[in-house]
Chain A
Amino acid sequence: MSKSVGKSVTRVDAYEKVTGRAKYMDDLCDRSALLVKICHSTIAHGFVKSIDTTAAEAIPGVVRVLTCFDVPDIPFPTAGHPWSTDPDHQDVADRLLLNRHVRYYGDEVAVVIAENEVAAAQGVRALKVEYEELPFVLDVQKAMEPDAPQIHEEYPGNILKHTDIRKGDYEKARQEPGLIRIEGWYDTPTVQHCHIENHGCYAYMEAGRIVVVSSTQIPHIVRRVVGQALGIPWGKVRLVKPYIGGGFGNKQDALYEPLCAWCSTMVGGRLVKLECSREETFVSNRVRHAIRTHIISYVRPDGTLVARKFEAFSNQGAYASHGHGVVAKGMGAFPQLYPCENVECDCWSVFTNRPAAGAMRGYGIPQAMWAGECHIDDICNRLGMEPVEFRRKNLMPVGYQDAFSKNELYSDTFCQCMEKGMEVLGYPEKYRAYRNQTGPVRRGVGVAVFWYNTAVWPISLESSSCRMVVNQDGSLQFQTGETEIGQGCDTAYSQMVADAVGIPLEDVHVISTQDTDVTPFGTGAYASRQTYIGGFSIMQTAKALRERILNIAHDQTRMPVSNLDLVDGRIVRKSDGRVLKSLGELATEALYSMENSRHITAETTAQIKSNAYSFGCSFAEVEVDIPMCKVTLLNLVNVHDCGTLINPALAEAQVHGGMSMGIGYGLSEQLLFDEKTGRPLNNNLLDYKLSTIMDHPRLEARFVENPEPTSPYGTKALGEPPACSPAPAIRNAILHATGVAVDSCPITPHVLYEKFKAAGLLED
């Protein structure tokens, strides 16, 4: 049997995309659409007292102006989580379609619906909004102070949530004589996803229902949120997800779909389109949580971790969105990655008057790895231990099992990944060669590992459904609720389906578009879950389909099912290997049979109650120009154990993209805010320093393949992990080069100037 899994087959959507024919949201929208433009607040915190719409309504082409005084009073949640039927586990419903109480500079206060873009934009400019301004707060710890402005009435102290982990006795253990205390504060910035296609959607009413076509990662979830936000039965909402131009977690939230749908209902169900500008995407969609982390470690001189304390303060911004799950995931990694008998961990998600933070590639792990892996090198620096040696000694051992998730480290993943990374970078030689450098330009090498777990079980539901429909020619359509967002899951799925059913790859037709009216339920692209989770429902549905096919083959050939097989799209008699007929012949005969017509289909739902660790590391080599305070990244290597590779070329490409995001996180990206007004200062692609092709060295992606025993295909997370460890690896390389430990990213010349000055490396 020819196998597709494991081969670098061409993407199923490559031709459509490389010819520009692939249809994204705006390509599909009829040109008769009315355009919706949002009026955003120009204060960071306060109340809208009034909005004078007279001038806007007088503009030719303006059809309707709607304000925060018009919206239904139905708070709704936006997070792209599976819904929970347990009220205690439901996402926080703190949004209205438009807001009188504005909580960040860029909040939505009104919309103008117009016949064309110019009229809509003029309409927004013509609105006269009067505010009652309130004090605002941007810093996460200042927001926790007693006299801080209150952002949500129901959350005193602005604390959305606090959780902790306690293990052993930290206070007692740290009293052990002879321990070395290492303490650090580590900061990460607010960054944005910067998918090249901005979020947008369009909506219209049809037969009493609302149809929304959206650039989203999570169509089935957004359908539910639109229903909740509009206060209508969920069955009245149809959500369609076409090709999307990247998501990275921003589109794992209901963004403007509820508002757009409501606008359509307010103009008699006419077609309306809402497209975010780049500037709006930066501020009024979602951002990555800026997290400040405090770590104290008590270590024996031989490098044994005795007691550790971890505190993380997560800047939630103005609304709950994904909320506490992000920082909690990062905190969860802390006691697992370097197991220690005595641990105290606390984390807080805190509302501030910044843009709402949501999901972003890595979901709290890039922040946690920044803090945790910087801290590990601070320990090594203090003890005079080699960073790789320290990690070998202290990292999660083989056989480690987490009590809650039941995740287990089955293989010597960390050591294998670090071995490979060291070899590719030439780390041991460079580590020695770059010691004790002097002079203005120095080089260094650094390592960082990462912890990641696939999917969301047991925190939340894991379920996936798919449908296979056999055509008369023996090919089949494959549909699932899990979404292609650029990562390549449609291609991986086609390979998995081909093997599981027993048909050639070219006979699998993946339906890329999700349409909640016809697509089986699935929660969508997040948590690097889809290849792992989808694998279960593919395997299960293929088994059901094969049973049906072989039963029909028995009817048609009179051979017992036990002596029949489906191989490469042919019905084969197992005893002598003879091909009895093709699947196409079987399907045609079955469909058109005058006696017993059958359409061969299968659809099943798999609920998944397992999860899998997905680990790896980054190795970086830098050159630091000390007088210029400038870092040049010379080499970056990522090594991953994501189990068995389904498509090695696409896996490698996925890692490149994550590394790129990690480089930006480490060296250049941050969304800045004016301290005086809360106004975002660089919400565009010129001033926000997204890496260009000139900012990268050659990216080296490598794999260690230890098949994951809980997965039918031996696979586990790869989408998010590559973005988790590059930034601390770069930071640790700078430490190696200069002896200077940077504690906040991005490591810009401004940051290095202060650090180098303090270290006496700069002459006056």
Chain B
Amino acid sequence: MENHVIQYQTVHFNLNGKDTERTVDVRASLTDMLREDYRMTSVKKGCEVGECGACTVLIDGKAFNSCIYLAVWAEGKNIRTLEGLLGPNGELSDIQQAFVDEAAIQCGFCTPGFVLTAVEILESGQEYTDEELRKLLSGHLCRCTGYENILRAVKTTMYRRLGKPMPAE
């Protein structure tokens, strides 16, 4: 296939705190690389065109749909996936624990993406209103939860990190 010469490129990046490199097909998405080469099962495929948010990862602290981000663009970047949130003995981070406590998990397929966007929100150190939180989380689709408990999990963790009491609803 003369029109489809496969090109490979080596990409160097930091994945969950460790420097790493892989030689990848230049057409591969970051989702492809993380799932296929690193077997990161937290990176989910729900649409592969940037609509659903299930494949979200943090790239230099910002949440991206990894399905529409080429693997080769990861060069020099710090990539964080859900796998990187766990403590050395498998301890859950506060936001993961909040998802558990608030019954914000059902089928679990959208969960990793939501948690990572929540991490971006929480790491901003800012206090957001419900409306702002809804906007910040709106890149993720969920069919199970109606988003209600997901919002609550993010909100309770935000106030806990800010050291402020949750406002009465």
Contacts and interface: CB of A to CB of B under 8 A. Distances in A.
A277 B52 CA distance: 13
B126 to A, nearest CB: 18
A277 B143 contact: no
A694 B107 contact: no
Contact of A653 (B45, B103, B108, B111): B103
B54 A196 contact: yes
A20 interface: yes
Interface in A253-276: 275
Contacts of B135: 694
Contacts of B150: 693
A197 B41 CA distance: 13
Contacts of A580: none
B101 to A, nearest CB: 8
B46 A657 contact: no
Contacts of B85: 19
B44 interface: yes
A301 interface: no
Contacts of A14: 99-100, 105
A248 B142 CA distance: 12
B162 interface: no
B109 interface: yes
A22 interface: yes
A196 B105 contact: no
Contacts of A19: 42, 82-83, 85-86, 90, 92, 96
A246 B141 contact: no
Interface stretch (A23-31, A387-395, A609-617, A743-751): A23-31
B4 A693 contact: no
B12 to A, nearest CB: 23
Nearest to B154: A693
B147 A59 contact: no
Interface in A664-704: 684-686, 690, 692-694, 696, 698-699
Interface in A608-660: 649-650, 652-654, 656-660
Interface stretch (A179-187, A432-440, A457-465, A484-492): A484-492
Which secondary structure dominates chain B's binding surface? loop
B138 interface: yes
A95 to B, nearest CB: 26
A245 B137 CA distance: 20
B149 interface: yes
Chain A interface residue count: which class?
35 or more
A278 B148 contact: no
A693 B1 contact: no
A196 B138 contact: no
A660 B42 contact: no
A10 interface: yes
B80 interface: no
Contacts of A650: 103
Contact of B138 (A656, A661, A693): A693
A40 B144 CA distance: 29
B141 A13 contact: no
A699 B36 contact: no
Task: List the 6 closest pairs (A to B, CB-CB), nearest first.
Answer: A20-B42, A486-B107, A245-B109, A17-B108, A660-B146, A656-B146
Given A656-B149, A698-B148, 19 more contacts: A8-B103, A11-B100, A11-B105, A14-B105, A18-B100, A18-B115, A20-B40, A22-B41, A193-B143, A197-B44, A243-B107, A246-B144, A278-B47, A685-B46, A685-B52, A692-B141, A693-B137, A694-B138, A696-B148
Interface of B: 1, 4, 27, 35-36, 40-49, 51-52, 54, 81-83, 85-86, 90, 92, 96, 99-101, 103-112, 115, 134-135, 137-138, 140-151, 169
28 contacts: A13-B108, A14-B100, A17-B107, A19-B82, A19-B85, A19-B96, A20-B82, A118-B4, A193-B143, A194-B141, A195-B109, A196-B107, A196-B143, A197-B46, A245-B46, A245-B109, A246-B109, A652-B103, A656-B145, A657-B106, A657-B143, A660-B143, A685-B46, A685-B47, A685-B51, A690-B143, A693-B142, A693-B151
